[in-house]
Chains A and B, each alone.
Chain A
């Protein structure tokens, strides 16, 4: 009897817990973004560990553009390899047996994924202003519009980074990106675009119109987000996407979303933090950790 009571109580507890979780999820239609972000971080960490492991196995410096090693970079000179690999440098995707295209794509998607929580409040607002049947659809539409802009933007940043590394070498490119990012914090354009990142949408009620409006809103958010954060993300692109660089930069982006760009001394704080992150990234690149 006691066993039966214990089993019954455990069942009740699990039902209550499931119901609480369900209630929480219905209040937080943006919850999936945190899952996406966790997946992104996992990919970046795995790639970094794979790279470290491969280097431990094969300590010989990599020759730039060596046969099929899409992720290899020159650690002798700090210059861009002939393979043009800048984007896929979160560790080494080739260590996982991934081809260059898949490797680059994976890193870009992972990078966009780790930033997804930055748009969570916007997604939540749009979803909760919709009929229940539309909430998931609206959340997906806004997210997809935002992510599409960032994927294209990340590719563009990759090209710019490729050029910069080719011109001044990787450590130089990190310094250059850091200077640009710090300077950008002080511009009116940065202030406006950061403010616009807080925009929200109350979508139409008809599903098709809601989907269209959600995607458009997501794209607009993505453009604001890109204008606000692209320079600081460029540091990550030229330094490699290792979690050691990605985490502080994502943290800075998260922090400044919680400050008033026109009021708090956030510009000074983020400029100092960006400078420090850039310096650390430069050091890590110079000693070959990244």
Chain B
């Protein structure tokens, strides 16, 4: 089997930019766009909808367009596999088989394996187009956006150059791309509705930072233990469709940051499950997330679930091995994957040019008792000690978090090995979140927030998926999402001063210039918890 190498979009050589693999990526995307009726019109409507709380008239027009995307070789069809606004009874059929749309897995431990299978399916479609164009189909690999390697070169935080600009540079030729009437050549990798079109503020790179994720001790965690794992909460019942597609379960850290935070940072089509795949940056972003999984599993030595004997035979193991990911092919057949099917990348026909981790600070030891079973299955349920009132997020906000009856109790009153976490419940919005928020614990009111202040900086509150989970139209329960951040390090660092029953959490937007108030972000409860 030929092993294709997936390469970084940002390279350090002189010809940085339109590398051959990116040219062929653009060629494939162009063919996929040609097979997507009214794509340009759809993106214009989406741009309007994002500014107007998705009025029904606009959504109806978008539904009418997207319902035509019945060709599995098109960008439209592939994007709708991830999510769709089209009601199920309007989904197209292909050779008598109804489209398999809205299949994405987030917020639990199948997030990474499902998306790996999804990338493989997309890559296969792209190769088909490259082959038709006479390109190097068998050796071509999907390029990835290496934003998470920004410490070597902050320029990597910016969109890769081929994704920028409505037209192709003069010296670039993409096979199959025809000139417009004005003679210019359209850039297939450009998307006009992104909020991020070029270089972001290089001073604020948390949205691209994989450090917290790569430092988690486990791939997965049991739901409700309050542990924050790399890949997400265990789903012990693989057949429960409502749970598998529930957007409210416990996220893995990599799902939140950098995965979710990059979606929010780029924004536009990327801000929604239903449209993210229409932006060519989506596939390059997920390719990097997939690469980070390799880094975590192989370079950092965490391996994959159940590769040892621990945990085999449990309900979790049964779920991991039996859950199927189904993808409709262009001939009407269905290809099925399971999580164990997608663990050995070379057997899947690809490798990465590098999976070396970025520079990481010393990793804290895993929580006591978490090795009892593979994912700390018997760990205690955390207990909230202080909570906030409901609050809205329109700008930087100090949120009082109080509990008990006003006792002046310090951290020393709790077990010295206690794990601490901040839990956000009922996060809702009227529009996709325009930015993520930095979260600080116990920062004095007159102190400036700085996200390299490790004694107070807990992490990033990334809000990808909040809008979808806020919709009360039958597509979700409508009560929003939740997030958990591990605050153990910050509580221990402030042991002498922090009062868990009377403290403050400060939330600072990553990009304060975006329309935060318009998104109508609200949080039902924020708690400080220990276990």
Contact = CB atoms under 8 A, between A and B. Distances in A.
Interface of A: 23, 26-27, 128-132, 188, 191-192, 194-200, 202, 204-205, 257-265
B242 A191 contact: no
Given A258-B241, A258-B242, A130 B473 contact: no
Nearest to A26: B381
A259 B383 contact: no
A204 B482 CA distance: 16
A198 B384 contact: no
A192 B403 contact: no
Interface of B is mostly: loop
B381 A260 contact: no
Interface string B232-276: 000000011111011010000000000000000000000000000
Residue among A132, A259, A262 with the most chain B CB within 10 A?
A262
Nearest to A202: B425
A195 B477 contact: yes
25 contacts: A128-B381, A131-B385, A188-B473, A195-B475, A195-B476, A195-B477, A196-B477, A196-B478, A197-B477, A199-B477, A199-B478, A200-B477, A202-B423, A202-B482, A202-B524, A257-B242, A258-B243, A259-B242, A260-B242, A262-B87, A262-B88, A262-B475, A263-B245, A264-B88, A264-B241
B474 A259 contact: no
Interface in B470-491: 472-479, 482
A202 B473 contact: no
B478 A258 contact: no
Nearest to A196: B477
Contacts of A257: 242
A194 B241 CA distance: 14
B240 A258 contact: yes
A258 B473 CA distance: 18
A89 to B, nearest CB: 33
Contacts of A261: 474
B474 A195 contact: yes
**Chain B interface residue count: which class?**
35 or more
Contacts of B242: 198, 257-260
A288 B301 CA distance: 68
A192 B88 contact: no
Contacts of B246: 198
B426 interface: yes
B87 A205 contact: no
B224 interface: yes
B185 interface: no
A262 to B, nearest CB: 5
Given A205-B403, A257-B242, A258-B240, A129 B474 contact: no
Contacts of A132: 383
Nearest to B225: A27
B157 to A, nearest CB: 35
Given A195-B476, A198-B246, 8 more contacts: A27-B381, A128-B224, A192-B472, A196-B478, A199-B478, A200-B477, A258-B243, A260-B245
Contacts of A23: 378
B525 interface: yes
B26 interface: no
Nearest to B474: A191
B373 to A, nearest CB: 13
A205 B386 contact: yes
Contacts of B524: 202
B159 interface: no
